[in-house]
Amino acid sequence: MILTDFIPLKQKGIQLYITKLTVEELINNSIVAVFNSKTEEGYQRPPIPSHYKRFAEYLKRENGVLLPLGILTAINPENIEMSRTSGELTNYFSKDPTINEDDLEEGIVKQEEGCNYINELRLQGPLRIVDGQHRIEGFKYLANDDPKRFQEYQSFEIPVTIMVIGKEDEVEEMDTFININSKSKKIDTNLAIRLRHERRKEKNYTRSLHEIIDDIAISVTKKLNEDLNSVWYKAITMAPDDKGKIVSLNAFNKSLIPLVELFIQYYREPKDIEDSLFGFDGEEQEPLKLNDELVPILEEKEDSFVELIKSYLDHIWSIVRTEWDDCFNTYPPYFDKYYNIQKGIGLYSIHLVLQDCIKEEENIESAMYSFKELIRSGRVNSGDWESGGSFSGNNSQAGFRLIANQILGKKIK
């Protein structure tokens, strides 16, 4: 496929092109990078039929539809090439005999000895759809379901952004997919989050402090989900085909990130794991500052931090389970869907209590003791956690804080 209407630009060192394609061109020249468990390639779940059929029905039902929203795509650098050709100016340049100097500098159009030179964008192979897969699938469905109606749309020009993404920048593509779909609409990003985590830990990827903290949180989440002795055993949705779980990887990970930051700031290495859980010598600690100077230290001790934070979380959730044992099943999987304690409501609220304990005590070991006393205070009972109970409906950050404050009482302001 050869394109002549495009604008080149760069973000974060990544080459992008803004262009336009007809619906028919998009259908014939795009794919979705669906995850293949055998080859470990791809990162998206398959398109959801109910989603793209709904879009197709909208196209069939409505007249005078406008489709101004763009499609975001990606392609490997070896499959795209910008080359120069001579000839008459076409497309939007043909409307104005005066060529803009900025366009000349960008290399879109060049003049040499009275001739016009136009850059062409040559694409080999399909574009990977990063955002817009259900719209494309909706058009495909319409083409089969109502060919006559599809003819009205096949020549529609759709704005398209092309990201030139090589293997070394694959995480950037996953980041973009996750950011778009986790913030703007309800699309399952658990698989992409897990795969991004695995790609980021490859040796050739340089991680930021934020990315290391995120990776620690994901590693802890995975270990809790895989540990038969953990109350979180097989409770967390890690991929689209994980059915019947009680909380998503995305939600669990988000609840952990502030705790990971606090553990890094206030933890001091004990003699052993047992000492880290129960030992405290009263020494005053200055919290570490979270900055890029910590990156090499965290990379070196990342596995140790993962094991340590998992052991702390095992400990605090064993306290929770002991106090409100009616909210848990006796045998694995331990979660009970009739209670909110392991759903987002309980997860975020309990972790907020632990956060406040660490901030108040400024010491991990004494914070664990304080947490235990608060959970056993009797301010909250198992009935409060029932679906339809007093805590139901508090499914927001403000609601989580209300529940945490009820557990905290007046001990921590």
8 A C-beta contact, residue 137 and residue 104: no
Amino acid at the residue 390 = S
Query: With 50 as the cut, is the pLDDT of residue 346 above it?
Result: yes
pLDDT of residue 176: 83
Which is it for the CA torsion 175, 400, 353, 249, positive or negative? negative
pLDDT tens, residue by residue, 220-244: 999 999 999 999 999 999 877 788 9
Residues β-bridged to residue 17: 8, 162
Residues β-bridged to residue 199: none
pLDDT of residue 285: 58
Mean pLDDT of 204-225: 90
Residues β-bridged to residue 82: 121
Mean pLDDT of 315-327: 96
**Cβ-count burial 263-288 (b if 16+ within 10 Å, e if not):** bbbbbeebeeeeebbeebeeeeeeee
pLDDT band at 87 (very low <50, low <70, confident <90, very high): low
**Cβ-count burial 136-160 (b if 16+ within 10 Å, e if not):** bbbbbbbbeeeeeebeebbebebeb
Query: With 50 as the cut, is the pLDDT of residue 411 above it?
Result: no
What is the reported pTM?
A: 0.61
pLDDT of residue 90: 44
pLDDT tens, residue by residue, 7-57: 999 988 889 999 999 999 999 999 998 888 777 788 888 888 999 999 999
pLDDT band at 203 (very low <50, low <70, confident <90, very high): low
Mean pLDDT of the chain: 84
pLDDT band at 283 (very low <50, low <70, confident <90, very high): low
Distances (CA, A) of 4 to 26, 88, 93, 211: 16, 12, 11, 38
Tokens of 82: 């910008």
Mean pLDDT of 354-366: 92
pLDDT of residue 116: 59
pLDDT tens, residue by residue, 169-181: 788 888 888 887 7
Number of C-beta neighbours around residue 364 at 10 A: 24
pLDDT band at 279 (very low <50, low <70, confident <90, very high): very low
More confident residue, 303 or 118: 303
pLDDT band at 94 (very low <50, low <70, confident <90, very high): very low
Give the lowest-confidence range in 186-190, 259-263, 362-366: 186-190
Amino acid at the residue 167 = K
